[in-house]
Amino acid sequence: MPGEPTQQQNRRADARRNVEAILDAAAVCLSRDPDASVAEIARSAGVGRVTLYGHFANRAVLVDAVVARAIEEGDAALDAVDLTGDPRDALVRLVRQSWLTIVQVGSLLTAATEALGPERVLALHARPASRVERLVARGRVEGVFRSDLSASWLVGTLHRVMHGAAEEIDAGRLAPDDAATTITATVLAAFTPPGTPVPAVPDEVAR
C-alpha cells in the first residue's frame, strides 16, 4: 500500500536499531569492564555475534565507535561552557566540565587505550582539544599563560593530567571527590608564566 514502509526500509530501520543497541550495550559493558568481550557485548545487546560483526568488523572498531560517540556527546556539553573573560577563569570552568565528562566516560577510556592505542585516543579528542588550543592561544596573547613552552605542549599537558587523574582514581591513590581540585591546581601551576604567582583554586571547584 502507498505510504507503507518497504522491506528495504524496514531492514535499514532494524540495522539502525541493532547498531544503537550494540553501542549502548558496549558502553555499559566496557564501562564496567574494559576487557569485556564481544560475546558479552552481543549478549547484552540482545543480538548474535554474527549480527554484531556485520556492523563492526572487530572489537577495536566497536570500541572506536563507542568512544567516538561518548566523546562527541561530552564535547557537546563543553559547547555550553563560558570561555569568555579571564582565560584562567575560563580554564577552570573548562577543566571542571571536562572532568565531569571524563567521569561519565569512565572505563571507556581505559578500554580505548588498550584496544586502539594512545595515538588514536588523542585523535578522537581532536575537536575537544581544539577548544583548549584556542583558549591557550588567547591566554598567551594576554600574558596569563606561559609562552616559553609550546601551545601544543600545554594542551597535551592538560590532556595527560586529566587522564592521569582517572588512572590514579582507578589505582586507589586519588579520591574521586579530590580530582577536580587536584587537576585544576596542577594545570594552573603548569600554565602560569615563570615568576608569576599561581592563582588559587576557586572555592566552587574545591567543594
Q: What's the rounded Cα separation, in Å, for the pair 139 and 91?
A: 9
Please, which residues have CB within 8 angstroms of residue 25's CB and are 6 or more apart in sequence?
41, 42, 44, 45, 46
| Eight-state DSSP code of residue 150 | -
- 117 Ramachandran zone, left/alpha/beta (phi>0; psi -120 to 50): left
- Per-residue pLDDT of the chain in tens (207 residues, 90 and over written 9): 555 567 777 778 888 899 999 999 998 888 788 888 999 999 999 999 999 999 999 998 998 888 888 877 777 778 888 999 999 999 999 988 888 777 666 667 777 777 777 777 767 767 777 888 999 999 999 999 999 999 999 998 998 898 788 888 878 999 988 998 999 999 999 999 999 999 988 866 544
Q: How far apart are CA 24 and CA 9, in angstroms?
A: 23
Rounded-to-integer distance, Cα 195 and Cα 47, Å = 60
CA 175 to the chain's CA centroid: 20
Q: Which of 110, 112, 80 is nearest to 97 (CA)?
A: 80
Grid cell 577543566 is found at 95
Could you tell me the end-to-end alpha-carbon distance of the chain, in angstroms, rounded to an integer? 62
